[in-house]
Each structure stands twice: as structure tokens, then as C-alpha cells.
Amino acid sequence: RITMIASRTLVCAASTLASRISPRFQRGNTVRALASGKANGIGRRPILIGGVAGVTTAQMGNLGNQQARAVEAAPAPDTAAMAPAVAAIAALKPGAKLADGAFEVLAVNEVPEYNVACVELVHLKTGARWMHCGADDPNNVFNVAFRTTPTDDTGVAHILEHTALCGSDRYPIRDPFFNMLRRSLSTFMNAMTAADFTCYPFSTMNETDYYNLLGVYLDAAFFPKLSREDFLQEGHRLEFKDMEDKNSQLELKGVVFNEMKGAMGSQAARFNRALSATLFPTSTYHHNSGGDPVSIPTLTHEDLTRFHATHYHPSNARVFTYGDLPLERTLAKSQELALGKFDRIDVSALDVADERRLTAPVKVEVPVPADPVVPDPNKQSAVSVAYLMVNQIKEKEAELENFALTVASDLLLNGPQAYFHETLLESGLGSGFAPGTGYSSSRRETSFAVGLKGVAEADVPEVEAQIQGTLERIAKEGFPKERVDAIMHQVELGAAKVSTNFGLGVAFGAMGTWVHGGDGMKPLKIPVLAAKLQAAIDADSKYWQKLIQRRFLDNSHRVTVVGVADKDYDSKLEEAEKKKVAEIEKSLTEEQKDAIVKEAVALRASQDGDQNADILPTLKVSEAVPREIKHWNSLITKTSGGFDLQIDAQPTNGITFANLLLDVSDLPDRLVPYLDLFADFITELGTKTMDYKALAQEEKLKTGGIGAGVDVQQSLDASAPPRVYVSLSGSALDRNVPAMFRLMADVATGAKWAGEDARLGLLLSRRAASAGAGVSQNGLSYAKGLANASIDPVAALDYRTAGLPHVALLQRLSREKEAGVEEVAAALAEIAAYALARNRVMRCRISAKPEACDPAVKQMEAFIDALPPRGADAVGDELTLAQSLASFSGAPSKTFVATPTQTNYCAASYLTVPYSHPDSAPLFLLGQAMSTSFLHREIREKGGAYGGGASAAPVEGVFVLSSYRDPNTTATVETFEKAAAWAAKEGNLTQEILEEAWLKAFKAIDAPLAPQSRGASLFTNLMDDESRQLFRDRLLDCTPGRMRECAEKYLVGKTPALAIVGNPASVPDVKKAGWTCVDAEGNPLKEE
């Protein structure tokens, strides 16, 4: 499931989406990702695949917030001439006919802020709407969306999204979508179900690939098979535990069924769902479009086909395209392959009605799951107050009001200077903001919610009172001008920042209103709306006061939702499901049982059967993949003080990025558990010259963010010990670079580690609550981390600082209150005294446009000079971090972590070889091959898990097999063993499988990099052009035999490190299999 967070910053993102494929995971601090929304430059352990940092296929996290074009080497917009792809669109006129008269131009808009030109068209025969953004960007995007408006919680839209991709008229094989994942160089492929639309997007930089995918996607969307067999696999089915034995236990299975068990398996998910259902009592948003596992089994195959017939029609479609390919060819192909085969139908019945506005506030209480780990068992409730706000389709000033409320949300919630930070978070009433907090503009009608989690039931009224009092205060006083100015600065930064995902961001951001007849240009209007808002504020000194009064205090459509934690919530669902299935089983006739067996056997035969994937188009590696790496031409030199300096002169569009690495390898090992807290809190406590609120305000006003991270430089050939470092980083508009470095120096030399006990206590409690709540939802990250930590020293370090031991540490510190704060403050001060000094500097980096590099280097030199000359040292024979890494002695784990969830996350890890070893490249390809040619079928299609696969981490030298939202435990581990045996068997790994593995590998390795990321792998891990080229050559020179040899050498007969994070109901079975069972804090489970 890929989640698009509803807009809570300055731009409109897409709504919460249920997606076709499971997300990728990178090594990093899961706790930090949960607890902090701050971007700290180069993050913890950047992905280093095939020699390039950060080069996975497009990630979805903040796509809606990407506001600049993704051009590999484009000049800055203020000097660039209009590119041909932009000029061609700008030259179109309303009324013009395209694609032999099939389409008519409705409107043309140039958007100079982003150097794009957009055209909206209508397909005359069906009424389908089309928007194209011409851009000087080779990462071309296609996205077709349908308004899908569920009337229940069966997940019909979501299951249809899955089933539509299981074969179509032109491609009647079992799974064209997953087959195309390995036959394409796409930078993004997926399908998603939102609250009110379903979309099918892809992006690619290869022209042939674009048209290949266009044909497959159009056929899937408009002409899917929708067979009952595929419905049973992807949706839900009854099946006996022993498939052919009708006397064995009856079970419920299905990919979406298990996906949604995982997706809804947290307090946050259940509370969010209750919040939406209460806020929207009468409209389609009342329902769970992804499907509630309780209701999914009531959906029939006939329901599914009816829903497709009424919703998946061009008359109900919106198509978005973007990039530098000619628009007319895409239009003509779409007309030929799909649109021209339909006639217009009336789809007005699918219109989403306005929510019936409440005339008085409503308050409800709902049960929610307890978080897996909580610091205070007496404070587990969540409370939120939500308001229905702007009708984006019907209100006259909807655009400006929506943008103003987005800004207001930022002022209310983001950063320690925000109003609700002071009145709610600092009040001690709760442990953090409630799930769903923020402003959401992704639906037809916008909403705002705010509240707290980790609240004592008796304190719920006080939370409500604080919310009301805060809004009343702002309605009298308004917002300070300097805080609004800081947000406008962030808008300017956002417009300047070059992103590789810009086209996808617009593709998703447009749909929320466009599918309802609103403006598809919405994501591209941010700078214009910022100027409009500024003018409105200048014209009316009471603008903010009136807005808060009108949209909050005078708003009768207000709901309060109180979530009461139930530690048995998931087990009750499990018991209810078992009871329901038992009742069904009891009522079955022998003929019905025989029918269930017959369908199961037929489905398994289909899953095991050969499919003729040759009917699908494919790229050829020899034609599509160059042998030579991309060269970023980094300059390696020295600062005036003699420190190693890397300069990356790149088209960063007026933004400078700076990084400084400080070696902490000889830090006392006892301080290691606090390292990530040090990195996270360094900018959160204030400095000698300003308090933490003033610092946060200045950071927002002058920079794109400053901060720190912790990572490890690993030797590419394992000839040298790993070096652990703290990275200090920042970014700013070129004009603000001196101010950025002044702030960085102020933080590095004067961070207030003592004297901010209340602030530090709040940071710890929020982090502890976030970490405890996130264990279940981040189960795969923790499972992989646990397994890897038992066999690899660097992974063990990661796990100490970012895994479940860190979760346990946070709970202890939070429970100990003042003593915990004192302990952390002392540790952080000691780390600072050791790390923040000139003698710890490893190297530094500047990435900026060429003319901005020299001035930035001078500022970097001044920053380094401001550091103390020498840091503290470990005392006497005290064990250091480096010594701890060197003395590591591993033993493969076999550990089950029980956490409240209905599904499992399984991992099996093997030690392999470092990056420069000749076997590293074949192992990397082996992971791709095992994933697509064996594990997908066995774990997802047969086993019912949402996802599963294998991957090699070349730098770390580990090979991991994993499953995601999996109903199985030890059976999946057995599948991992079978996968290794399959790969090692002569003849199973063919040249065709290798070709597909190459394409999967190179779509990651050659994915577009934002200018500021080019050269990052050289900086963080000394991965030079020679090593990258050697790895690439070894990939391209690999043979099926080399992959088979590696499977036999590193996987078959070896004892893997095993870890499962999952359903407590599985404990008895795994205990019998010899597993160690612990809770989320690592404590042995008590015998029952």
C-alpha cells in the first residue's frame, strides 16, 4: 500500500491510496521516519544500488509536494528559452482539433513558474477529459483515472483495481502488470484506489517503453478479463487449509483481504477511518474504499463486474500526460486502442453529492486497537475535533480559501512555534497529535482535524477546551506577519527545487478535484495563489481573524471523535472471523464443499501453469541499456583549511545544498543508543543565541531545512573497517546561503543540551509514542533489521540505534520522566563535545549551480573554522564504537516478535559479499530473478500475502528474502528455502529470466536523479566512477549460470537469520518450531 498523505503542507497532494504493489524498504531509522517530518539533507543510509545513491524507481512519499521539473541537465528557468515540448503545447489554440478530429482543445495555459505549458482537451465521441503538460523532461508520465464512488465497505473499487490488471482482451495472460514490471524500464508503475477515484499511472524515460506501457495500461483499464478466478485470487475466497481435503479447516484468503487486514491493523488506521466516517455521514467518503476486512467477504464477482461496467468508461475518465513526447501520437494511439471503441454514456449518477452539513456539532466514541507499545497504559485514548470546510467544486473563492487554510494549517501545527504545538503538545495532555491531524484538500470537500493521542479518558474534555480556546485566540489576534512570511519563503523554495517526480506529483495532485469537474491545474497554481493570498492579507488586516471565525468557530459541521483503546481489538476480530467461517463451514453441503475444492484446485493449476508472456511487449537490454555509467563530474579538492571537499556543479535552480561529515567511529560505545536522538534533537532545543521556537522560525524563514543524520561508510571491498559519521546538512536559496551557514554554526557550536528539560521531555514522549504506535505498520523494516543485525555488525549498529531496542529505550526514558530527560541530556552533551569539532571532519560537499559554488565554499570554510579545534576523546580503555563493530560475533536469529496485527512480516537474511566482489552483481540480479519468477507466485498469488520478494544489498553484503502483510509464518520461511533450491537448480534460471532481471535492475540504477543528488554516492560511500562502472559491467556480463552458482554458494544449505514481526495468534505454532518469541520491547513472552 502506498500512502499519499493528504495535503498538510503547501501543496495539494492526492488522497490516501491503496496500491497494487507493496512498497520498497530502505535501511534507515523507522522511528525517525515516524516521529519527524523534517528533511535533513542526505538521509540515513541512502540507497546505494549499483553505484548510485537514491536511485530506486520513483517513490511516492511527497509526490504531491514536488514543484519543479525533472530535467537531467536543464538551465535555470529564468534564463531558459521555451523548450520544443513546451512551445508545441503553448502554440495550441482553443477549438483546435487533434488526432484526426477525435479531440478538441478546450484551454491552454502556460505556467512559467515551472516552465511547462498545459492543454486540456475533450474526446468528442465519449466526453473523456485529457490534460497534457508539455515539459522539457524525458521522464514521461501517463495516468488514467476513473471516478469511483463506493457505497459500502466491501472494497469493490480496490479489488477491481487489482483484478483489472490480471489480464485483458489483448493480453489474456494471468498477470500482465507484474510481467511488465520486469519487461520495462519504467521509473514508476502502479495502480491506486483513492477515496473517490482509481488511477493507473506509469512513468518512463524510454520512448519505446512509453508506448509499450500505454498499450498495456489502456487495455487493462478499458478491456479487462475480470475472470472469477482472478477475483478469487485478488479479492477473497474460501479455501480449505489442505486445499484438496474438504474435511480440513476452512479459511478465508485473498490478496486484498490480507492487504487490508494489514492496512487497518493499527490504532492510527482505525481512528482515521472513524474520523472520516463521522465527518462524512452521508457521502461516499463515509465508506472505506480500500475495503474493511469484515465486509470484503460479502462482495460477489457479479458486484465487481457491474461496478466496472458503470465506472470504467471513457465518459467517466480523466487522462493526464506529461513530458517531452509529442502529444498527438499519444492521443492517436489512445483513440485507436481504446477511446474510439466507445460511445458517450450518461455518468451523472456517479456524481458525488455535497455532504449534508450538520446543524450542530456531533461527538462519538469508537473502539480502536491499543498501540503495540505504550509508555503509560493509563493514557491510551485518542481525541480529535474535525471540521468540514471548503466545497472545492461549488464555492466561488474555493481556490484562495483552500490555499489560505493550507497556510493556516501550517501555522497551527508545524514546528514548535505553531499554536497547537504550544497549547496541545506542550500541555502534557497527550503524547502527540492524533491520527488524521492536519488539513486535507484531496477530497471534493476539504477538512481540518486536530487532536491528541495518548490521552487519559478524564482529560478528553480539556483537550477539546484547549482546541476551542486556541482558535478563539487566533480569531482575535490573527497570525504574526513574520510567520506568514516564513511560509511564503517555503513556497518560493518549493517552486525552485528540482524534482525527478514532478510529473507524477501533478498527475496525482490534479485528480482530487478534476474527477469531479474541478480544475485539473490545481497543483500548478501554488505560486499564483501565494501571491493572491499575500494581496488579500495586505488588503485586509483582519483577513486571518475572519477566516478562522468563518471556517472554524462559526462552522456547525464539527465532529469530535474519541478513540478508546482496546488491547483485545485484533483478537476479537480474529475470533469473529473464525466464528463466521465456522458457521459457513457448518452450513455447507457436500456439493458446496466439492465446489470450493474444485475452484481452489483450478486456481492453483492456473497459478502453476505456464503463461505466454511473449504476447506482451518488452524492451531489449542490448538496445535500451547503455554500458557506460552516467558521469557526474564531481570535483574533488581541498578547502583552504586542508579538509577534503567535493563540489558538484549542477543545475540546482538557485538552491545550494551543503553537507559536512564528522567521524564518530571512536565514540564511546555506551553512547551509541543515543546517537540518533542526538541527530534528531540537535536543531530542536535552541541555541545559546535563540530559543527553540525562534530557531525553528529562522530556519523556516531562511532555509530549506538544516539538520543531522547518522550513517556508516562501508568499504566497497571490505578491506577497511566501517566508519560511522554524523552528517550536518542544509539547503537554502543562493541568496540565503550565508544565513544558512550562520544557523548551522550556531547549532553546531551552541546547541542547548542543558536547561531545556520540558522541551526535551516532550520530544522524548512524542518519539516514544510514535515509535510504539508504528511497530505493527513497519513490521517488515523491523523484521529485516532484526534478522540482519544477528549476522552483520553494521546492521547490528543500525538495529541498536533505529530498531526495536531503540523503541524499548524510548519507552523506558519516557516512563522515567525527569530521570530519563537527565540521562538523555547528559548523553547528548557528551556526544556533542566529542563529535562537533574540526578534528572530526571527514569531508564536506557543496552542490549548487556553477556560479554559486565558490561563494558557498567560502561559507563552508567559515563554518568549519567556527567549530572547536578538537573534540573530547574516549576515556582510558573505554570500549569505542569502532572496537564494538570489530569485535562483533554473529549468530543467526530465529525470533518472532508478537505485536497487535492480523498479518505477519517475514524476513530471512544471508551474509554474502561486498560491493566490489565479482559475485556481488550476480547476487543483485539473482534477487530480481527470484522475486519475479518464483516468490511473487508462491508468496502472493498462492500464499495470499500482499507482497514478497528477494533483494541483495551490494554495499552491505546481505541478501534478504521477505514477505509483507502475510497470513503465513513458518510456511513462508519454507517457501524461502524452496526459492533458494529453485534458483540453484540447473535450467530454472533462463536467459529470458536474466533479461528481465537486467531490466528490473537498470530501471533502479538508471532512474533519474535530482541535480542535488548527483555525486552523492561518491560523497557518502566513496563510490567512484571506476567502481560503479565495474559493477555495471559485471551486471551486463552476467549469465544465468553465474546467478545459479551464487544461489548454490550463498543460499542453499546455509542457515539464514530469521525474523517475523506479526500476529500473536501465531505464537504457539512458531514456538513449536523452535522460535524465540518476544514482545515489541524484546521481552520474552510469558507462558499462558
Helix (H, G, I), strand (E, B) or coil at 663: strand
Question: CB–CB of 430/454 below 8 Å?
Answer: yes
Question: CB–CB of 71/1026 below 8 Å?
Answer: no
What Cα–Cα distance (Å) separates residue 332 from each residue in 1, 378, 454, 706, 1001?
A: 33, 63, 56, 48, 32
Nearest to 648 by CA among 660, 633, 662, 661: 633
What the block records as the C-alpha cell of 160 is 477491481
Q: Which residues in 542-632 belong to E strands, given as ranges? A: 558-566
Helix (H, G, I), strand (E, B) or coil at 732: strand
CB count, 10 Å around CB of 214?
Answer: 23
Rounded to whole angstroms, the Cα distance separating 1088 from 1086 reads: 6
Q: Which residues contact 91 (CB under 8 A, 6 or more apart)?
A: none
Helix (H, G, I), strand (E, B) or coil at 380: coil
Question: CB–CB of 127/314 below 8 Å?
Answer: yes
The residue annotated as part of the active site, out of 120, 161, 445, 699, is: 161
Contacts made by residues 636-639, CB under 8 angstroms, sequence distance 24+: 639/844, 639/857, 639/860, 639/861, 639/864
- In order, the DSSP letters of 41-107 are SS-SS--EETTEET-SSPP-TTGGG--S---TTPPPTTTPPPPHHHHHHHT--TT-EETTTTEEEEE
- In order, the DSSP letters of 442-471 are SSSEEEEEEEEEEE-GGGHHHHHHHHHHHH
Residue holding cell 480569531? 475
Question: CB–CB of 344/126 below 8 Å?
Answer: yes
What Cα–Cα distance (Å) separates residue 277 from each residue in 285, 288, 291?
A: 7, 8, 13
Strand 362-369 with 558-566, pairing? parallel
Exposed/middle/buried for 617, CB within 10 Å: 0-12, 13-18, 19+? middle
Q: Which residues in 714-838 belong to E strands, given as ranges? A: 723-733
Rounded to whole angstroms, the Cα distance separating 855 from 857 reads: 5
Nearest to 817 by CA among 753, 764, 756, 752: 764
Rounded to whole angstroms, the Cα distance separating 27 from 953 reads: 10
Question: CB–CB of 845/877 below 8 Å?
Answer: no
Exposed/middle/buried for 773, CB within 10 Å: 0-12, 13-18, 19+? buried
Question: CB–CB of 834/826 below 8 Å?
Answer: no
Is 941 an active-site residue?
Answer: no
The residue type at 1019: F
Under the phi-then-psi rule, with left for phi > 0, alpha for psi from -120 to 50, and beta for the rest, what region is 944? Answer: left
CA quadruple 612, 613, 614, 616: dihedral sign: positive
What the block records as the C-alpha cell of 1007 is 532512474
The secondary element (H helix, E strand) that includes residue 893 is none
CA quadruple 255, 258, 261, 265: dihedral sign: negative
Rounded to whole angstroms, the Cα distance separating 108 from 87 reads: 11
Question: CB–CB of 61/500 below 8 Å?
Answer: no
Q: Could you give the maximum distance between any two Cα atoms of the chain, in Å?
A: 86
What the block records as the C-alpha cell of 159 is 479489488
Strand 1076-1079 with 894-898, pairing? parallel
Kindly report the backbone phi and psi dihedral angles of residue 947, in degrees, each rounded to the nearest multiple of 5, phi listed first: -160, 160
Helix (H, G, I), strand (E, B) or coil at 519: coil
Rounded to whole angstroms, the Cα distance separating 1 from 908 reads: 22
Residues labelled catalytic:
161
